[in-house]
Amino acid sequence: MNVSTNLLGVALSEEEIITEFKNFLLNFSTIDEKGKPSFPYLNVLEAIFDRQVRSISISYSDLVLFSPRLAKLLLESPRESLKIFAKALQEVIKELHPEIPEKILRTFRIRIKNVGGEVPIRALFLSSYVGRIVEFRALVVRATQVKQFLRRALYLCDVCGRMFPFESQEFYTKPRACIYPGCNNNNPTKIRLMPDGQEFEEYQELVVQELPEELPAGKLPESCTLILYGDLVDKVRPGDRIKVTGIILTEPERKLIEGKRPLYKTYVEAVHLEKTETEEEELKLTEEELQEILALKNDPDLEKKIYESIAPSIHGLNFVKKAIAAQLFGGVPKVYPDGTRVRGDIHILLIGDPGTAKSQLLKYVSILAPRAIYTSGKGASAAGLTAAVVKTEDGWALEAGVMVLADRGVACIDEFDKMREEDRRAIHEALEQQTVSIAKAGIVATLNARTSVLAAANPKYGRYYPNRGLKDNIDLPPPILSRFDLIFVIKDMPSEEYDKALAEHILNIHGKYKSPIPPIPPKLFKKLILYAREHITPKLSREAMEKLKEFYLEMRKSAGRFQSDSLEMHPVPITPRHLEALVRLAEAHARMLLKEVADEKDADFAIHLMAESLKQVAYDVESGVLDVSAIYTGETFSQRSRYMIVLDTIRKLQNEFSDGIPINEIIQRCEAKGIPREFVLQVIQKEKMRGELYEKKPGHILFVT
């Protein structure tokens, strides 16, 4: 085929384009560090021959330097240009290594990158971009299974009896006539697809959407379909951030029918794709911004300014704002020699009465954090909070949920207690191991969820009742609660002084029609967080470690004990999991102040927050001691103590009533010890369900022996 393109006033045939591109591949050179010429694409050609790679990635800027007219041709007619470039590549390889089979040659591809002028996803739907090659960044939301695309097939003509090859395009079309001269077969029904000689190429579809931090205020994220072929498939998973070079194409939304609107939908065929995992991609500081950050580092009021810059329109909640500040900067993740990973992200749960600004606080953090997603516990899609395998038109696809999409950022989850049952099962792994594992419909995958969670939940009965335990106040299982480093209860308690200050704050905002100005502007605050997370990796000083150890041991010693006839019990005011949280908080405080060493002040900050959190949710009202069992098991020390008294009473009575202990007798004995009838009946029912007690006759029980 001899195509001719008039470009810049010069007519270029296909042969001329092939010759010029071959010349580029073989002769383009740069100067290396030693001042010698280097031929980058010639080296890659050898890697292709050795089957190490199946494509050659070419920087558009290199093509511009070597051949401006080829670069211009690529922008004007990207699909046709890439096909001709691929032919040139195949000819070069064939000339260098004639022994390579034609079938293998046809699998080699040209990948173009760095075309410049990144386009936002929502602009891709403009008609002016159709048919053009563009570059954009996106977040992978969904990925289908890899399938095989019929790229080339052999067909048999029933009239002349000869076979001929036919290449498929995006959509399958059967040859309408025999290609051989002299054969007059124009009947498609007399042309058959042969099972032998078919050539396939890997095929996958992704759904990608706008990055959360690039989303315009008040707008929903736009998404588009991305088509991958060949060595681009299976390189990324839902939750990954990618940089794409692709061609904007269209296809009919439905079959075109006369009298109906001819509507088309847009999709992108990927030419080049790469992950953008590192935070350096986001950390693009100007000299002025860098100087501002360094000035903040030397500011004695930096800590105060950080707290005042978090939701300044919300009055009070100082402990919560301090905790959120630590969460935004985060601790230091660690990987031990045996491969064990310890998270540096901090998880915070807010339990609050209605009207205590929980949702407003979460929304502000979702705007302030460099990477963040705000959602409700029920989730915005089938994937919910973690991930799911969803049914599509062509099979099954893996779809990422909020915690995967917010990887390396903050997931702000409102109505956390309303999460789906599937998420309740999967979120344990996501919170602690920071991964989400899926095995369904033949799809087995583990997705990253390296996310800090800021969650808000409502009390079970509308308001939080301090005289009830945490389990009775919130509809969340203890194993999930135990994954949070800090839990705060925001109560709406009437207080003349606080109410007056709050009323003045709210009325001043409404009177001036604007919220207080944060000391650190949000844009600079984001840069400060990114700079700290990228460049500051604080380590605990010996003094800080001693301070945390002393607090941990003192808390453990402060526990009282309960002695029953069969068991000695201790309340547990703090656990090793809390000690790890203390380390994260101390590191986060040091990082917040841009310090390389976490000292005693940072340890004091961590202890201060942890003590306040434990006081709010781990205080046993009846015994007057701290007991984190209320978080881990849902039962306080007092409840467990009463439980043991009931069981001891039953054991003693078993010696007196060998034919079955009257339940009324058990109730009377326990009521004499201050244990209510309802609690005794609950214990008996639980032990019967566990198989420890059985009812020998109506109203009489015994231990199973």
pLDDT digits (tens, 9 = 90+) for 252-292: 877 777 777 888 888 999 999 998 865 545 557 778 888 88
Provide the pLDDT for residue 103: 84
Please choose, from the candidates 82, 57, 85, the residue with its C-alpha nearest in 3D space to the C-alpha of residue 231: 57
Is 52 a residue whose pLDDT tops 90? no
Q: Does domain 539-632 have CATH number 3.40.50?
A: no
Please choose, from the candidates 151, 153, 172, 146, the residue with its C-alpha nearest in 3D space to the C-alpha of residue 227: 146
Provide the pLDDT for residue 5: 53
Q: Which residues pair with 244 in a beta bridge?
A: 136, 273
Query: What average pLDDT does the segment 65-70 reach?
Result: 90
Confidence band of 564 (pLDDT split at 50, 70, 90): very low
Give me the half-sphere count of Cα atoms (radius 13 Å) on the Cβ side of residue 216. Answer: 6
Confidence band of 2 (pLDDT split at 50, 70, 90): very low
User: In whole angstroms, how far apart are CA 677 and each of 317, 431, 669, 672, 701?
Assistant: 41, 39, 10, 10, 16
Query: What average pLDDT does the segment 433-459 reach?
Result: 85
Provide the pLDDT for residue 514: 58
CB 112 within 8 Å of CB 272: yes
Please choose, from the candidates 533, 510, 612, 594, the residue with its C-alpha nearest in 3D space to the C-alpha of residue 305: 594
Q: Where are the alpha helices (DSSP H) in 232-286?
A: none
Architecture of domain 121-277: Beta Barrel (2.40)
pTM, entire model:
0.77
Query: What average pLDDT does the segment 117-127 reach?
Result: 87
| 442/320: higher pLDDT | 320
Q: Quick one: DSSP state of residue 323?
A: H
Is 76 a residue whose pLDDT tops 90? no
Provide the pLDDT for residue 1: 41
What is the number of residues in the chain? 705
Which structure tokens are listed for 343? 């998270």
Provide the pLDDT for residue 204: 92
Give me the half-sphere count of Cα atoms (radius 13 Å) on the Cβ side of residue 290. Answer: 6
Q: Which residue has the tokens 């749960």?
A: 349
For residues 164, 168, 173 and 176, what is the CA-based torsion angle, rounded to 10 degrees?
Answer: -30
Please choose, from the candidates 543, 338, 333, the residue with its C-alpha nearest in 3D space to the C-alpha of residue 432: 333
The one-letter amino acid code at 381 reads S
Q: Give the C-alpha separation, 123 to 137, whole Å.
A: 12
Provide the pLDDT for residue 186: 87
Architecture of domain 637-703: Orthogonal Bundle (1.10)
Please choose, from the candidates 197, 230, 181, the residue with its C-alpha nearest in 3D space to the C-alpha of residue 101: 197
User: In whole angstroms, how far apart are CA 632 and each of 457, 473, 573, 684?
Assistant: 18, 15, 11, 23
Residue 321: φ, ψ to 5°: -65, -35
- CATH superfamily for 287-381+400-535 is P-loop containing nucleotide triphosphate hydrolases (3.40.50.300)
Is 127 a residue whose pLDDT tops 80? yes
Return the top range by mean pLDDT from 212-221, 490-499, 593-602: 593-602
Is 216 a residue whose pLDDT tops 60? yes
Location of each CATH 1.10.8 domain in the chain: 539-632
Q: What is the pLDDT of residues 479-503, one digit of tens each?
A: 888 889 999 988 766 666 766 766 7
Query: What average pLDDT does the segment 561-590 reach?
Result: 76
Q: Give the end-to-end CA distance of the chain in Å, rounded to a whole number.
A: 90
Q: Which range among 93-107, 279-293, 358-372, 448-462 shows the weakest confidence by mean pLDDT? A: 279-293
Query: What average pLDDT does the segment 643-660 reach?
Result: 85
Q: Which range among 437-441, 574-578, 679-683 shows the weakest confidence by mean pLDDT? A: 437-441
Is 209 a residue whose pLDDT tops 60? yes
The one-letter amino acid code at 190 reads K
Confidence band of 134 (pLDDT split at 50, 70, 90): very high
Please choose, from the candidates 219, 212, 213, the residue with its C-alpha nearest in 3D space to the C-alpha of residue 522: 213
% of the chain exceeding 70 in pLDDT: 88
Provide the pLDDT for residue 546: 95
Q: Does domain 4-113 have CATH number 3.90.1150.10?
A: no
Provide the pLDDT for residue 321: 92
Return the top range by mean pLDDT from 249-258, 265-274, 305-314, 641-650: 265-274
Which structure tokens are listed for 68? 């401006």
Q: Give the C-alpha separation, 423 to 72, whole Å.
A: 50
Is 396 a residue whose pLDDT tops 60? yes
Provide the pLDDT for residue 563: 47
Q: What is the pLDDT of residues 495-540, one digit of tens each?
A: 667 667 667 666 676 666 556 788 998 888 988 998 999 889 999 9
Please choose, from the candidates 138, 397, 78, 404, the residue with its C-alpha nearest in 3D space to the C-alpha of residue 273: 138
Provide the pLDDT for residue 282: 54
Handedness of CA 663, 669, 671, 674 (dihedral sign): negative
Q: What is the pLDDT of residues 412-443, one digit of tens each?
A: 998 888 887 777 777 888 888 888 888 877 78
| 322/12: higher pLDDT | 322
Provide the pLDDT for residue 6: 52
Which structure tokens are listed for 116? 């410049």
Please choose, from the candidates 203, 197, 178, 202, the residue with its C-alpha nearest in 3D space to the C-alpha of residue 188: 178
Confidence band of 8 (pLDDT split at 50, 70, 90): very low
Query: What average pLDDT does the segment 392-402 reach?
Result: 81
Which structure tokens are listed for 528? 């400060």
Is 411 a residue whose pLDDT tops 80? yes
Residue 270: φ, ψ to 5°: -70, 135
Confidence band of 593 (pLDDT split at 50, 70, 90): very high
Location of each CATH 3.30.1640.10 domain in the chain: 4-113
Buried b (16+ CB within 10 A) or exposed e, 554-571: ebeeebeebeeeeeebeb
